[in-house]
Amino acid sequence: MSPEQQAATAVNPVTEAGRMAPKNYDAVLLASFGGPEGQDDVIPFLRNVTRGRGIPDERLEEVSHHYRANGGVSPINQQNRELKAALEAELAARGIELPVLWGNRNWAPYIPQTLQEAYDAGHRRVLMLTTSAYSCYSSCRQYREDIGMALTETGLDGKLEVDKVRQYFDHPGFVEPFVEGTATGLADVRAKLAEAGTPDAPVHILFATHSIPTRDAEAAGRSEGEPRVFEEGSAYVAQHLANAAAVIERVEKESGLTAPWSLVYQSRSGAPHVPWLEPDINDAIEELAGQGVKGIVIVPLGFVSDHMEVVWDLDTEAMETCGNLGLAATRVPTPGTHRKFVDGLVDLICERTVANNISDRPALTDLGPWYDVCRPGCCANFRGEKPTIAGADTTVGTGHDPYPSGGAAETAQL
């Protein structure tokens, strides 16, 4: 095994405290955000997304334009159907008899309904896989709350066990499709510049992810007993920066191509006075053009699939900004149903199962592998605590034993 492979698969003593022993699961739950599938669905969907915030329908209609412009249909549900089918095919190819269930946070099929159907079908121990790779409230803890609340609402608490795979931001299956795409994107932009007669013009790579409120970013990965201090004070930011650096290193090593890069944000929403992570991708593009950059490669590093915030915010708005400024530009694909991504997700399932167990837990940055069981208070919900699963502060379910009181060395048997 090469030094790189050893580093990628070495046990991280920090994450050992949150490692859960393999179990005999009888189903997999693919959990996602959900999206409207017609014009009549748009406002009810946005009501679900913003529930509890008292936002009137008139305001929701103002922010519905990207859905309206695409027939009221978000691509995400169809992409999840395709991902579900791909996971089922790969599990079957490996001889693993685990049905894949599907439940959404904000649109049918809803998570509570899916859990009830799972229980009625005889399932008692379910492993959840989400379509969010990074650590922050909306990407991790909110899914844990979704399950906790669903178990409570359906009366299945104590009857149905649901655990969750680790956040997989730096798993090779998630990162490697971006390595391929970034190399291809660089070559494509270089070809466009050569065709325009400026083959050596400056090119810049923008790694794009969803902006979140600064307060949520500061809470991301922050928990009781977490010994690390994350770059820029946020695990969410640190994970993206580490991933971007890993992608650039691999692209240069494997293709000989490289370019300066930076992390940018998109899809900001909410009250204007509330600070969110910056810079916005469109502002960054304008600034780079002013500095003489002539080519842009957009890498949607924060996203699993080409859902609405990729199709609209990147393919429509950001590419339009590039066009207006006369920049050669391309947008790299998300992992979607890339074979390496699907294989990686099934590997994550196998990390947690007794049968077909994979003991190695690869991670391409020093931040991983991430926790199976989150530490107390991780990625805090500032609106108030809710029932959660898959955490040391779990309030529902039977997913794990509490953390031992000792340090990492004493908790390595978890």
Residue list, annotated binding site for Fe(2+): 210, 309
Please say whether the beta carbons of 413 and 407 come within 8 A: no
Q: Tell me how crowded residue 413 is: count the other CB atoms within 10 A of its CB.
A: 9
Helix (H), strand (E) counts: the chain = 16, 8
In angstroms and rounded to an integer, the radius of gyration of the C-alpha atoms of the chain is 21
**DSSP state at residue 110:** B
Binding residues for Fe-coproporphyrin III: 74, 143
Pair 251, 186: CB distance under 8 Å: yes
Structure tokens at 343: 């294989």
* Residue in this structure with the two tokens 């391929």, named with its chain if needed: 180
State the DSSP H helix or E strand holding residue 27, giving kind and residue range, or none if neither: strand 27-32
Total residue count of the chain as it appears in this document:
414
Distance CA 48, CA 111 (A): 13
3-state secondary structure of 79: helix
Residue given tokens 């590419």 in the structure block: 319
Give the helix/strand (H/E) hosting 51: none
In the chain, what's the furthest Cα-to-Cα distance? 67
- What DSSP letter does each residue of 291-355 carry, written as one string? TT--EEEEE-TT-SS--HHHHTIIIIIIHHHHHHTT-EEEEPPP-TT-HHHHHHHHHHHHHHBST
- Residues marked as binding? 74, 143, 210, 309
Place of tokens 């050893």: 6
In 10 A of CB 82, how many CB atoms? 13
378 vs 373: CA distance, rounded Å:
10
H-only helix segments in 121-274: 142-154, 172-195, 214-219, 235-255
Helix axes 172-195, 339-352, angle to 10 degrees: 160
Q: How far apart are CA 150 and CA 112, in angstroms?
A: 5
Contact, 325 vs 288, CB < 8 A?
A: no
Amino acid identity of residue 287, one-letter, is: E
